[in-house]
Chain A
Amino acid sequence: MSITKVELADIVYENMKLDKKRATDLVDMFFEEMKNALVKDGEVQVSGFGKFFVKEKKERKGRNPKTGESIMIEPRKVATFHHSQVLKDRLNGQKK
Chain B
Amino acid sequence: MNKSDLAKQLAEKASLSKGDAEKCVAIVWESIQDALTQGERVEIRGFGSFSVKHFDAREGRNPKTGESIKIEPRSLPRFKAGKDLKDRINHK
Contacts and interface: CB of A to CB of B under 8 A. Distances in A.
Interface string A53-79: 010000000000000000000001111
B29 A49 contact: yes
Interface residues of B, number: 48
Given A38-B89, A91-B36, A47 B77 contact: no
B55 to A, nearest CB: 10
Contacts of A7: 31, 35
B44 A11 contact: no
A20 interface: no
B52 to A, nearest CB: 6
B86 interface: yes
A2 B75 contact: no
B43 A3 contact: yes
Given A11-B31, A91-B36, A30 B24 contact: yes
Contact of B1 (A12, A37, A77, A83): A37
Contact of A3 (B6, B13, B29, B41): B41
Interface of A: 1-5, 7-8, 11-12, 15-16, 25-27, 29-39, 41, 43-50, 52, 54, 76-81, 83, 87-88, 90-92
13 contacts: A2-B42, A8-B32, A15-B27, A29-B10, A29-B13, A30-B25, A31-B47, A38-B85, A45-B2, A49-B32, A77-B89, A77-B90, A91-B76
